[in-house]
């Protein structure tokens, strides 16, 4: 009698997989919420925080102080990258993504409840700073986890395209945050001057977008709790390649990739925060300012934000389009040519932004400036969801990509609004030095790209050879 095979019922069940819809939803909704929370602060940093939390008597000083707290969150982001990266590379991506979303949501909600300077004095900006640091800490772990969920679950040959979905959270979060501020500002207008905020807006209207984040976080948690771990992480866990101290392994074996990834992101960060925070400041500043304040374009807040939202639509569209192109020709080639375009764009700032021109011409040129700048932002930001994680093997991928991405936030995002306002003020209202600043950031990014290998065909399930060998003898320092 021949032996029979074991019944199917006794065969081990295949590991559950995340469906494409679940992967896209989990990576997109989480980053949309996280970026929404971040942009809500960025918008308030221009509109209300200088008056409510930093009443220095000098509008430029108050604005720089407000942007200083905004930039402080960038300093917390690498700390969040280390903590969440350790958890993500050691315990898995799902738990980390849930935790980062909770921290960000709670901090944003609490900002909406803060007392202002007139109520509690210096305690108000101190509390704002603490909650802003919590926001930065959470965002430090969010992006890499979302990018890994998308790319580690991507079909062969479509990693860059899947990697654009967490990136799409940036333009969507911007549109939702600024759209909500726009609606509130429209519902609570200043009775005499559209360039000013009404008493109702300053009293309670600005709080609504912060409090609304609680609803979005609840939806995001529901989606993310349904995820299962990626196959790449499960394989690394089964073969014993998980590091006890991912950060140590990252800097021991992959420090070069961390440095290159940091500077690859630099121009992207500078461009983005110039196109959002700085241009909102410059665009809504009065063309004939008070003594000591630099002149701007003189648009009303409503008009300029609508112009920004139109530009951000192109940001989102070209973010998605960049993925298939990066899958076809490679991430490095696409980003090199895009970075050259960013350098030229920076050098041409003064040609686009001309407050002395007629209102119709100034409006057309400013709208064209915003569309082209955000278009470039989409092309450069989209492939980053694949490129930065591809620089690192599976067992340190979360830590490596998170550290590179978030250290770059200090050099780019934290400093960009502050440097831009200082240069704008120094130049007496001209934007040409701000553009030169962007061009210099682009040069540094271009150099980093020239020293970086193409990652399109990287084996995404592999740990590096030195990691595999060293994991056996690594001391158990952190858990």
Domain residue ranges in the chain: 17-469
pLDDT at 475: 47
* DSSP states along 266-287: HHHHHHHHIIIIIHHHHHHS-S
- Only one residue has tokens 């919590």, namely 134
Tell me the C-alpha distance between 350 and 356, whole Å: 11
Check: CB of residue 186 under 8 Å from CB of residue 205.
Answer: no
Check: CB of residue 93 under 8 Å from CB of residue 149.
Answer: yes
Tokens representing residue 421 in the block: 């306002």
* DSSP states along 387-406: HHHHTS-GGGHHHHHHHHHH
Name the residue among 111, 45, 59, 72 with its Cα closest to residue 277.
45
Check: CB of residue 24 under 8 Å from CB of residue 164.
Answer: no
Check: CB of residue 115 under 8 Å from CB of residue 50.
Answer: no
Tokens representing residue 324 in the block: 């298939």
Per-residue pLDDT in tens (0 to 9) along the chain, 479 residues:
444 444 444 444 444 567 788 788 888 887 888 788 778 887 888 788 888 888 866 777 787 788 788 777 778 888 888 898 888 887 777 788 888 888 988 998 999 999 999 899 889 989 999 998 998 888 888 888 888 888 888 888 899 999 999 999 989 998 998 889 888 888 888 787 766 778 888 889 999 999 998 888 888 888 887 777 666 666 666 766 666 778 888 888 899 999 999 999 999 999 998 998 888 888 888 877 666 678 788 888 888 889 999 999 999 999 999 999 999 999 999 999 999 999 999 999 888 887 655 566 778 899 999 999 999 999 999 999 999 999 998 888 888 998 999 889 888 877 888 899 889 888 888 889 999 999 999 999 999 999 999 999 887 766 554 555 454 445 444 34
- Kindly list the distances between the CA atom of residue 252 and the CA atoms of 40, 73, 318, 470, in Å, as whole numbers in the listed order: 38, 27, 36, 11
pTM above 0.85, yes or no: no
pLDDT at 454: 93
Check: CB of residue 143 under 8 Å from CB of residue 405.
Answer: yes
The total of other beta-carbon atoms located within 10 Å of residue 449's CB is: 23
Tell me the C-alpha distance between 14 and 162, whole Å: 23
96: helix, coil or strand? helix
DSSP 8-state code for residue 13: P
Check: CB of residue 94 under 8 Å from CB of residue 229.
Answer: yes
- Only one residue has tokens 């998980």, namely 242
Tell me the C-alpha distance between 87 and 75, whole Å: 20
* DSSP states along 421-476: HHHHHHTTT--HHHHHHHHHHHHHHHHHHHTS---TT--TTPPPHHHHHHTTT---
Tell me the C-alpha distance between 192 and 196, whole Å: 8
Check: CB of residue 121 under 8 Å from CB of residue 434.
Answer: no
pLDDT at 356: 56
CATH superfamily for 17-469 is MFS general substrate transporter like domains (1.20.1250.20)
pLDDT at 445: 97
The total of other beta-carbon atoms located within 10 Å of residue 5's CB is: 7
Tell me the C-alpha distance between 160 and 163, whole Å: 5
Q: Based on the number of CB atoms within 10 Å of its own CB, is 217 exposed (0-12), middle (13-18) or buried (19 or more)?
A: buried
pLDDT at 171: 92
């Amino acid at each position: 009698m021949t032996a029979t095979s074991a019944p199917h019922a006794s065969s081990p069940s295949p590991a559950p997989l995340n469906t494409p819809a679940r992967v896209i939803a989990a990576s997109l909704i989480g980053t949309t919420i996280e970026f929404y929370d971040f942009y809500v602060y960025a918008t308030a940093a221009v509109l209300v925080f200088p008056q409510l939390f930093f009443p220095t008597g000098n509008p430029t000083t108050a604005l720089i102080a407000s942007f200083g707290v905004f930039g402080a969150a960038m300093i917390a982001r690498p700390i969040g990258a280390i903590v969440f990266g350790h958890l993500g590379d050691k315990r898995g991506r799902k738990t980390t993504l849930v935790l980062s979303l909770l921290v960000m949501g709670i901090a944003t909600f609490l900002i909406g409840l803060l007392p202002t300077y007139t109520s509690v004095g210096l305690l108000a900006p101190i509390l704002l700073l603490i909650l802003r640091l919590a926001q930065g800490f959470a965002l430090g772990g969010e992006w890499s986890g979302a990018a890994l969920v998308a790319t580690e679950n991507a079909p062969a040959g479509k990693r860059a395209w899947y990697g654009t979905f967490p990136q799409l959270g940036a333009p969507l979060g911007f549109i939702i945050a600024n759209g909500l501020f726009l609606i509130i500002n429209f519902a609570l207008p200043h009775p005499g001057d559209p360039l000013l905020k009404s008493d109702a807006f300053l009293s309670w209207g600005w709080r609504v977008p912060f409090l609304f984040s609680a609803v979005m976080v609840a939806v995001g948690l529901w989606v993310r709790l349904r995820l299962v771990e990626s196959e790449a992480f499960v394989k690394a866990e089964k073969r014993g390649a998980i590091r006890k101290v991912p950060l140590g392994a990252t800097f021991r074996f992959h420090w070069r990739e961390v440095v290159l990834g940091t500077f690859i992101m630099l121009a992207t960060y500078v461009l983005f925060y110039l196109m959002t925070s700085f241009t909102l400041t410059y665009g809504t500043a009065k063309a004939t300012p008070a003594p000591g304040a630099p002149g701007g374009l003189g648009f009303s807040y409503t008009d300029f934000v609508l112009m920004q939202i139109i530009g951000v639509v192109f940001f989102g569209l070209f973010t998605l389009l960049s993925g298939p192109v990066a899958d076809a020709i490679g991430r490095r080639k696409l980003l090199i040519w895009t970075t050259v375009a960013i350098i030229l764009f920076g050098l041409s700032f003064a040609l686009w932004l001309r407050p002395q021109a007629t209102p119709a011409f100034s409006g057309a040129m400013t709208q064209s400036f915003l569309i082209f700048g955000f278009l470039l932002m989409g092309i450069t930001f989209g492939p980053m969801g694949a490129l930065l994680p591809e620089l690192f093997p599976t067992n340190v991928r979360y830590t490596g990509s998170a550290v590179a991405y978030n250290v770059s936030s200090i050099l780019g995002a934290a400093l960009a609004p502050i440097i831009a306002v200082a240069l704008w003020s120094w130049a007496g209202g001209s934007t040409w030095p701000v553009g030169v600043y962007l061009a210099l950031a682009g040069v540094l990014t271009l150099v980093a790209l020239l020293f970086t290998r193409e990652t399109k065909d990287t084996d995404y399930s592999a740990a590096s050879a030195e990691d595999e060998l060293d994991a056996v003898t690594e001391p158990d320092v952190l858990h």
